[in-house]
Structure 1
Amino acid sequence: MASVIQKCKTDPANRNHPCEKVRCGHPWTVRYREPGGRTGRQREKSFPTKKQAEGHGLKMENDKREGTYLDPKRGAVPLKVYAEKWVARQHLAVGTEGVYDRAFRLHIFPALGHRLLSTLRPEDIETLAREMTAAGLTANSVDAYMTPLRSVCKAAVNNGDIGRNPFTGAKLPKLPSKAVDDKRLPNGQQIQDIADEFRRELALSVWLMAGLGLRTGEVLGLRVGDFGEDRVRVRRQITRGKGGRGLLVGPLKHRREGDWRDVPLPTNLREAVAEHVATYGTGPDGALFQTGTGKYVATSDFATHFRKVVKLLGHSWSPHDLRHWFASTALSSGLPLLDVSRWLGHRNISETADTYGHLTPDSTGRAIRVMDGAITQHRAGLVLDVAA
């Protein structure tokens, strides 16, 4: 059992020993053993009052009985140190590693990196989110940058380094609906207008994103060998290196190295690719798009040029809206949700349904006709008898 003492009265090495006052005001120390009986390591902690020391002792003994005991010193490590060791143990895709690096370096470590892991509380998470929002980040961006910190805290709980996840009970910015507003997307003529104003050696990328539903990094990672007669095999994406330095060719989002997906290739885009190659040639490893110095095009450079073009046209679309146009056009035309989800490379079909499900053709009238036919054929007599 835990014992509570005042070292000023029992420990000759204590600077206040010997203390003969009954109410001296010196600290009270609780001593207890970690799980394991007599073989458990002895721990002690001091408190200003006897009541606080006794309360801590009771908690430690109770935690041992219930099997929830945690070494108080395990979480006494700066968040930055703990997180860096956690990242070093993970098997992260290069794109994910870059995102995590930016989140820690730009937002998490400056605000909380010096704090001991065990001292983090829900209010700290809320304060960090509020500071990100004040800096101009959207709710989606805040959620994305919180992801690595959330993973670190979850791992710390699972590893027994902290007893409570500071994200539990923390109120973060409410995420907007994932549903895409098709009324705010560019139409076909406006996409052509963007392509007409784009740098000529990159103009084809605009229609490849819109016609194939590709992400920016995916379209910039295309190579001539990826194109078949009626489909494109999407194998890779261009991402930024750790610390924002350099470009990397990595696996697709949500996929492992070597994974790929096939996307139907419209005939006119296949012909446009052939014309593009004949005019501009290819870049490294047969890359479809290249810089003036023969290197891969950076996603950040592409996005900057895209914003300049759409601003010139008087709009505010992002490159991702081209991908949305592909999905909305395919689904509103009656193509199966499962197929569209696979072509987009979503993690699962629920992501596609949450984002684009409202764009599928309304089946209400068809459902009425189907059920009327079934009821009339199989249950008409009973329905009429009940109604009568």
Structure 2
Amino acid sequence: MRNWTPVKNHPNIYEYQTAKGKRYGVRRGFKNSLGKADEFTKSGLKTWRDADIILKRFEADLATGNIGAITSQKVTVDQYWQRMSSRKIKLKIWKESTRKNSTNFYKGYLKPVFGNTYLSDVTRSSFQSFLDGLAIKNLAKSTIRTITSVMLAIMNNAEYEDVIPKNKLKGMLIQGRAAKDLTIQTTDYEKWIDTAENILDKYMLSLVYIGCLGERRGELMGLRTSSFKFETDKNTGEERCAIKIDLQRTADELNGTTLKTQSSYRTLWVTGEIIKNIRYAITTSDNIRERNNINANDHWLWLNEKGSPLHPYYANKLTKRINDASDMQITPHMLRHYFATKGMASTSADIEVMHWLGHRNLQMTADYTRPTAFESLELYSNVGKDLHDFDGTKHK
């Protein structure tokens, strides 16, 4: 490298000799988009004034945050992912489960293909080709959509921080295998519940009954004895129970953590036979703690015989036991979809179903519904009474 000599009274401007005479250059240190020390250089200028113009232009860009176009040439997708994920973890923007899932999708699908690619070199055509390849491999459309969302998070964040001028990956075409059918027909549900009643003890049957109320699995397994409040309706004399959903337990957060979204915090009110199951579950868990001399601050509702809270995945283990005995395939999440379908098909207002499920908007609730045979036939019958002639007959 040529011997650069500082130009007196002009910081960051240097002069050096070439075969064609004296030339000037700029050398200016700064922190790049990754927060690391970097250096801007420019050489081959014929006068110190030309160098001064280049330097002032760079410093103006640096002051206004418009150096993304310069530094993005040196930032790879993987470098930016490391920075973005570290920041989200440090500021607790991500839950542990979100971090884990996002990292798995990034490392499993995006990093092998785009990790060493500069952010500025990721094009719509290259990413669309990548998505099409995943569809050809028969990945589910929902999985490809999640992979896309991780990449969009990287690019959106880079655009927001002026690392790239624009996220070019918005509105990509996502194909893929259809999602698994989560429909539960009414007759199948009734058979499944009958099987549960025949093979489970009353405590575990209570877990199933309460789990059929549409909660998320983590919310169901995060219930405590303090989650329930009983009272009597002053007008009807009927007992009712408030179920407060304000905590969830997951495989990563066995001691409980915050809920998925703000709208997930809610209170469910129930009446009738389900209250007997709730009271029985509370009494049973209290008795288990007493037998094991446990005086815990958090009185979890679902315990094993030693008084330890059941693992959050136990709900899946329990449904599998019923599945094996009934020759059916139903999961806790399918029960949540079934409740949504029944709720939307009932006379209740859609917005009430939305609040019950803890959704942010009605579209999310609508996406949970499935056209069961019972609801479809009921709709056909009701509409047919009004339009009279679906089958060529007239109703009087």
Structure-1-length-normalised TM-score = 0.66
Alignment of 1:1-388 (within 5 A): 38-41=55-58, 70-90=68-88, 91-130=93-132, 132-133=134-135, 137-168=139-170, 170-173=172-175, 181=183, 183=185, 186-194=188-196, 196-197=198-199, 202-210=204-212, 212-229=213-230, 230-241=241-252, 247=254, 249-255=256-262, 260-281=265-286, 285-291=298-304, 294-307=307-320, 309-356=322-369
CA distance in 2, matches of 1:171, 1:311: 39
Q: Is the 2:184–2:334 contact (alpha carbons within 8 Å) kept by the matching residues of 1?
A: no
User: Deviation digits for residues 309-356 of structure 1, max 9, x if unmatched?
Assistant: 424422222221211222222332311111111000001123223443
Cα 1:186–1:316 change in 2 (3 A) is same
What letter corresponds to residue 239 of structure 1 in structure 2?
Answer: T
> Is the partner of 2:244 in helix, strand or coil?
strand
Q: Which amino acid aligns with 1:224?
A: T
Q: 2:247·2:256 contact (CA, 8 Å) conserved in 1?
A: yes
CA gap 1:204/1:127 in 2 versus in 1, 3 angstroms:
farther
Distance 1:356 1:314 in 2: 24
2:197 & 2:43 partners in 1: Cα distance? 73
Identity among equivalent pairs (%): 18
Tell me the distance in 1 between the aligned counterparts of 2:21 and 2:326: 81
8 Å Cα contact 2:244/2:266 also seen in 1: yes
Instruction: Note if contact 1:70-1:160 (Cα within 8 Å) is conserved in structure 2.
Output: yes
SS of 2:302 mapped into structure 1 = coil
SS of the equivalent of 1:286 reads coil
Separation (CA, whole Å) in 1 of partners of 2:316 and 2:96: 20
Kept in 1, the 8 Å contact 2:340–2:368? The answer is no
- 1:116 alignment partner AA: Y
Encode CA deviations 1:80-125: one digit per residue, 9 max, x unaligned.
2211221232312344333323323433334433333222223443
Write the letter of the residue equivalent to 1:89: R
CA 1:95–1:367: 2 relative to 1, 3 Å = farther
114 and 97 in structure 1: CA distance in 2 versus 1, 3 angstrom threshold: same
Conserved 8 A contact 2:217-2:333:
yes
The Cα offsets for residues 238-267 of structure 1, whole Å up to 9 and x where unpaired, read as 2233xxxx63522222228xx720112233
Partner residue in 2 for 1:384: none
Tell me if structure 2 keeps the 8 A contact 1:185–1:324.
no
Supply the distance in 1 between the matched residues of 2:94 and 2:314 (Cα, whole angstroms).
Answer: 24
Gap regions ≥5 residues in structure 1: 1-7, 14-28, 43-62, 369-388
> Compared with structure 1, are the counterparts of its residues 252 and 11 closer, same or farther at alpha carbon in structure 2 (3 Å cutoff)?
farther
Alpha-carbon distance between aligned partners in 2 of 1:135 and 1:11, rounded to the nearest angstrom: 61
What is the identity, as a one-letter code, of the residue corresponding to 2:271? P
Of stretches 341-350 and 183-192 in structure 1, the one that deviates more from structure 2 is 183-192
Name the CA shift for 1:247/1:132 in 2 (closer, same or farther; >3 Å). Answer: farther
Task: Report the equivalent of 1:55.
Answer: none
**8 Å CA contact 1:240, 1:248 repeated in 2:** no
Paired residue secondary structure (1:290): coil
Paired with 1:320 and 1:86, the residues of 2 have a C-alpha distance of: 31
Q: Is the 8 A contact 1:122 1:169 kept in 2?
A: no
Give the whole-Å Cα distance in 2 for the aligned partners of 1:232 and 1:179.
Answer: 30
Mapped to 2, the partners of 1:125 and 1:11 lie a distance apart of 48
CA distance in 2 between partners of 1:304 and 1:132 (Å): 31
Secondary structure of 1:250's aligned partner: coil
* Cα contact 1:139–1:174 (8 A) shared by 2: yes
Instruction: Report the aligned-residue RMSD.
Output: 4.3
Go from structure 1 to structure 2 and tell me whether the alpha carbon gap of 1:233 and 1:107 turns closer, same or farther (over 3 Å shift). Answer: same
Shift in Å, 1:143: 1.6
Count of aligned residue pairs for this structure pair: 318
Consecutive unaligned residues in structure 2, runs of 5 or more: 1-17, 24-41, 231-240, 290-295, 388-396
Q: Distance in 1 between matches of 2:243 and 2:94?
A: 26
C-alpha contact 2:341 2:370 (8 A) present in aligned 1: no
Counterpart position of 2:10: none
Which whole-Å CA distance do the structure 2 matches of 1:317 and 1:159 have between them? 45
